[in-house]
Amino acid sequence: MARSESEADLPVVAGGRPLRDSFLVYGAPAIEEPEIQEVLATLRSGWIGTGPRVGRFQEAFRSYIGAPRAVAVSSCTAALHLSLLVSGVRPGDEVLVPTLTFAATANAVVHAGARPVLVDVDRRTQCMDPSAAASAVTPRTRAMVPVHFAGRPCDMDALLGLARRHGLVVIEDAAHAIEAMHDGRRVGTLGDAACFSFYVTKNVVTGEGGMVTTSHPDWADRIQVLALHGLSADAWMRYSDAGFRHYQVQQAGFKYNMTDLQAALGIHQLARVESNLRRREAIWARYDEGLAGLPAWTPAPPPEGGRHARHLYNLHLDLERLRATRDQVLDALIQERIGTGVHYVALHLHPYYAETFGYGRGQFPEAEWVSERTLTLPLSARLSDRDVEDVLGATRRVLAHFRR
């Protein structure tokens, strides 16, 4: 036991008692009464498939982002896949993807028939490094998918400049970044298209769900058709009272439509998106304050003129000052009954990308630095003040215990 540890501060890993009785689930969403009632109304309406509520959610989201068009789909992965397909990416093309991201960003490129070309990030912002992206451009590069990591907008001036110089399509992976802004302009309006996620841990949740925003009306029309089997655009209205409509199959599409049950959640989640952000900003500030002085780096502040969507609070452990690995710290936090996450182990360290594309350790040192020492603390708007203090108390006690 370290000399400064009192009995009460002793972590479970050193024989103490867990800080909490109940397990704090990482990423549990803030679901409230209005969406519960809307789901019930949807169930009672007799129509739970793609219908009027999807239309309402799509329009509310389009208006919130301020994009010319929005199309609701079943996930951000589907949104990325369809955006890449309509962008003109073809088999044999290369698409720049940061190596520090969730698998879906690169997998969508593979599903579109192209090759994901991984790019290193900047360890402070965790976003794709524009100079590394510039070095990765070849005559076959057709598109880039920058990820606004953790909700912090990427350096879009540099990335858009690079895209302009090389004629690249830009598809923003905005899965973390619904509320984010770059230089006063909203994420979702910066590139050719942007893809959002409403997965259970995201800032707006529909269980599963996604959205594409785009400034290209023809892309939006094609995505809408591709998202529902390739059927003619208003096929989802075929059971409405507007009279029977025959659909036409225009393409071999996908089953990527959002349902009214999901949209019922989304409509009310979106109505609280700004108040939930303010709550997460307050939790973030409390974490910054409460974690000061510990052997760990706290996340980079938002860029000047920008707004951070506060999706992930990633702590980077100062491993040189700790006698534990990140995984030992994670385990110790779980034993305190605090759920945590890892965002992410870089893609090039996973077997699929290594074996298929020949990537390996040592290629992207910044992303590897993050991969080894990152852990994500809970940041849902659902957290009570007590929960936040428990997260802080557990993190402090565990890091104090492991401090060299």
Ligand X SMILES: Cc1ncc(COP(=O)(O)O)c(C=O)c1O
Question: Could you give the residue numbers annotated as active site?
Answer: 202
**Does 379 participate in binding ligand X (rule CB under 6 A)?**
no
Nearest residue to 377 (alpha-carbon basis) of 331, 312, 316? 312
Please identify, using beta-carbon distances, which residue of 11 and 151 lies nearer to ligand X.
151
Question: Residue 195 or 277: which CB sits closer to ligand X?
Answer: 195
Out of 147, 169, 171, 212, name the contact with ligand X by CB under 6 A: 147
Binding piece for ligand X, criterion CB under 6 A, among 60-68, 102-110, 134-142, 164-172? 102-110
User: What are the φ and ψ backbone dihedral angles of 147, each rounded to 5 degrees?
Assistant: -105, 125
Which candidate, 155, 275, 146, 272, places its Cα nearest to that of 205?
272
Four-residue CA torsion sign, 81, 87, 93, 98 = negative
**Measured from the CB of residue 201, what is the shortest distance to ligand X in angstroms?**
7
Instruction: Indicate whether 61 belongs to the interface with ligand X (CB under 6 A).
Output: no
The rounded Cα 186 to chain-centroid distance in angstroms is 16
CB of 234 to ligand X, least distance (A): 25
By CB under 6 A, what part of segment 245-264 binds ligand X? none
Under the criterion CB under 6 A, does residue 367 sit at the interface with ligand X?
Answer: no
Residue 402 interacting with ligand X (CB under 6 A)? no
CA distances (Å), 190 to each of 19, 67, 138, 178, 306, in order? 44, 9, 23, 13, 13
Gap between the terminal Cα atoms of the chain: 12
Cα separation, 214 vs 216, whole angstroms: 5
- Of 210, 253, 341, 378, the one binding ligand X (CB under 6 A) is 210
Under rule CB under 6 A, residue 191 binds ligand X: no
Choose between 147 and 225: whose C-beta lies nearer to ligand X.
147
Can residue 175 be called a binding residue for ligand X (CB under 6 A)?
A: yes
Beta strands 181-182 and 169-173 are unpaired
For ligand X, which stretch binds (CB under 6 A), given 30-38, 96-104, 153-161, 266-274?
96-104
Of 105 and 259, which has the nearer Cβ to ligand X?
105
Q: Which is nearer to ligand X, 199 or 364 (CB)?
A: 199
User: DSSP string spanning 272-312?
Assistant: THHHHHHHHHHHHHHHHHHTTTSSEEPPPPPPTT-B-----
Binding footprint of ligand X on the chain (CB under 6 A): 75-77, 101-102, 104-105, 147, 173, 175-176, 197, 199, 210
